[in-house]
């Protein structure tokens, strides 16, 4: 951070602005996810609720460093990154509550949402699968003569063990495409600890094997996340090929809200990796004098009001009506098969 401050006059103010902006997005994600958890416990949300608590700093840094026109394929714990890339409280609630007005129209739910035509790809549940898809999106952009476009996607420590992760990152490296893969090493894949997931000393060791640039980041530090991911995205945009970022942090919730995470080693919470990135970022903002504790509390209160009002509105919206569905999986209606 200090080298940024010293680099030019006004840099500190710019950095403060960036950090405060990111913090407010993280806070929006945190407040929204608290509401999602409450709605789940109240039986209002069907299916699962998967939260990104503890991962907001790493996630927001991806979304905030991307530009309109870039491609972003977030994963399950990326509420903050999604919102930084343009997703809204409204569409998140609509998707979780299955509103017919949401982008997925009740056909898919929770974190499986996106608007692919706007570069915001909708994940499938199969881990690693979005890496080749973003890579292909970037290949098409190159074939269309576009340059300066970046495609970013997020994954966890467990997802790095999949074949799709390997195939996608390797293919992107062969094509030298501007792919940025952000690994949130949150110590557990559902209940499986790192020790049962991989045998390399650090997930960053994988970068050299693929011939891509690796970056390590403290996933609990918002300033570090913004800076390191900013460097990686700039390098990809400038033609430096794929970038692999590994952020160490701790998932501060269960895999989903159904999971009490009783398997998590309690000593991790007391280590630096177990710190809450939002608490750290808030304290840093106050310490730097960019905002007061009272302002932070006001932002939270405003967000809670907005989230509550939006949830109330969405719960009054129409559910999808099976009678209105065309029940077609093909856009070419004349090629539908018919079953008596």
Partner 1 sequence: MSITYLEAIREAQAKALADDPRVFIYGQDVGTFGGAFKATKNLAKEFPGRVIDSPISEDAIVGMAIGAAIEGARPIVEMQFADFSTVGFNQIVNQAATLYYRTGVSCPIVVRLPSGGTAGSGPFHSQSMEAIYAHYPGLVVLTPATVEDAYSMLLEAIAIEDPVIFCEHKFLYYHLKAESLPAEAQPIGKARIARPGRDLTIVTYGAMVHESLAAAEEIAADGFEIEVVDLRSIKPLDTDTVLASVARTGRLLCVGEAWPWGGVCAEVIARVTAEGFGLLDAPPMRLNAKDTPVPYHPALWGTHRPTASAVAASARQLLEI
In the bound complex, what is the minimum distance in angstroms from residue 288's beta carbon to partner 1? 40
Q: List beta partners, residue 155.
A: 183
By CB neighbour count within 10 A (0-12 exposed, 13-18 middle, 19+ buried), where does 30 fall? buried
Name the residue nearer to partner 1 (CB basis): 49 or 173.
Answer: 173
Does residue 289 interact with partner 1 by CB under 8 A? Answer: no
- Token digits of residue 271: 């280590």
Does residue 335 interact with partner 1 by CB under 8 A? Answer: yes
Beta strand 192-193 with 188-189: parallel, antiparallel or unpaired? antiparallel
- What gap in Å lies between CA 191 and CA 330, rounded to an integer? 38
Question: Do 268 and 275 touch, CB atoms closer than 8 A?
Answer: no
Q: List beta partners, residue 181.
A: 153, 244
Residue whose token pair is 């990111």 = 22
In the bound complex, what is the minimum distance in angstroms from residue 138's beta carbon to partner 1? 7
Does residue 275 interact with partner 1 by CB under 8 A? Answer: no
Name the residue nearer to partner 1 (CB basis): 158 or 282.
Answer: 158
- What gap in Å lies between CA 217 and CA 224, rounded to an integer? 6
In the bound complex, what is the minimum distance in angstroms from residue 111's beta carbon to partner 1? 13
Buried b (16+ CB within 10 A) or exposed e, 222-250: bbbbbbbbbbbbebbbeeebbbbbbbbbb
- What gap in Å lies between CA 274 and CA 56, rounded to an integer? 13
Does residue 209 interact with partner 1 by CB under 8 A? Answer: no
Does residue 239 interact with partner 1 by CB under 8 A? Answer: no
Does residue 322 interact with partner 1 by CB under 8 A? Answer: no
Does residue 321 interact with partner 1 by CB under 8 A? Answer: no
Q: Which of residues 45-74 bind partner 1 (CB under 8 A)?
A: 71
CB under 8 A: which stretch of 8-16, 119-127, 192-200, 207-215 binds partner 1? 119-127
Contact pick of 13, 46, 107, 196 for partner 1 (by CB under 8 A): 107
- Token digits of residue 290: 């960019």
Contact pick of 41, 126, 196, 313 for partner 1 (by CB under 8 A): 126
In the bound complex, what is the minimum distance in angstroms from residue 37's beta carbon to partner 1? 25
Q: Binding string, 155-194, against partner 1, x = CB under 8 A?
A: --------xx--xx-xx--x--------------------
Which residues of this protein are in contact with partner 1, per CB under 8 A?
Answer: 71, 103-105, 107-108, 112, 114-117, 121-122, 124-126, 129, 131-141, 143-144, 163-164, 167-168, 170-171, 174, 328-332, 334-338, 340
């Amino acid at each position: 951070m200090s080298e940024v401050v010293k680099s030019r006059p006004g840099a500190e103010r710019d950095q403060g602005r960036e950090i405060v902006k990111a913090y407010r997005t993280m806070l929006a994600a945190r407040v929204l996810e608290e509401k999602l958890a409450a709605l789940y416990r109240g039986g209002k949300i069907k299916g699962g609720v998967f939260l990104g608590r503890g991962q907001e700093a790493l996630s927001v840094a991806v979304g905030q460093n991307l530009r309109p026109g870039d491609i972003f394929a977030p994963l399950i714990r990326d509420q903050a990154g999604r919102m930084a890339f343009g997703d809204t409280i409204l569409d998140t609630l609509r998707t979780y509550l299955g509103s017919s007005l949401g982008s997925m129209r009740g056909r898919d739910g929770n974190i499986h949402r996106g608007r692919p035509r706007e570069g915001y790809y909708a994940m499938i549940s199969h881990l690693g699968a979005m890496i080749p898809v973003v890579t292909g999106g970037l290949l098409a952009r190159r074939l269309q003569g576009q340059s300066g476009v970046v495609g970013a996607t997020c994954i966890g420590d467990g997802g790095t063990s999949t074949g799709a992760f390997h195939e996608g990152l390797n293919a992107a490296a062969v094509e030298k495409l501007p792919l940025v893969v952000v690994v949130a090493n949150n110590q557990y894949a559902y209940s499986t600890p790192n020790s049962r997931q991989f045998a390399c000393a650090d997930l960053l060791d994988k970068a050299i094997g693929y011939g891509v640039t690796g970056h390590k980041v403290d996933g609990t530090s918002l300033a570090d996340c913004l800076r390191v991911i900013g460097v990686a995205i700039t390098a990809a945009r400038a033609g430096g090929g794929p970038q692999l970022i590994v952020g160490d942090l701790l998932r501060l919730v269960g895999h989903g809200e159904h999971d009490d995470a009783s398997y998590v080693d309690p000593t991790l919470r007391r280590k630096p990796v177990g710190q809450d990135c939002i608490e750290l970022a808030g304290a840093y903002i106050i310490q730097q004098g960019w905002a007061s504790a009272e302002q932070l509390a006001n932002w939270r209160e405003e967000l809670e009001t907005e989230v509550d009002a939006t949830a109330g509105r969405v719960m009054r919206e129409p559910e999808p009506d099976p009678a209105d569905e065309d029940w077609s999986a093909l856009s070419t209606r004349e090629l539908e098969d018919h079953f008596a």
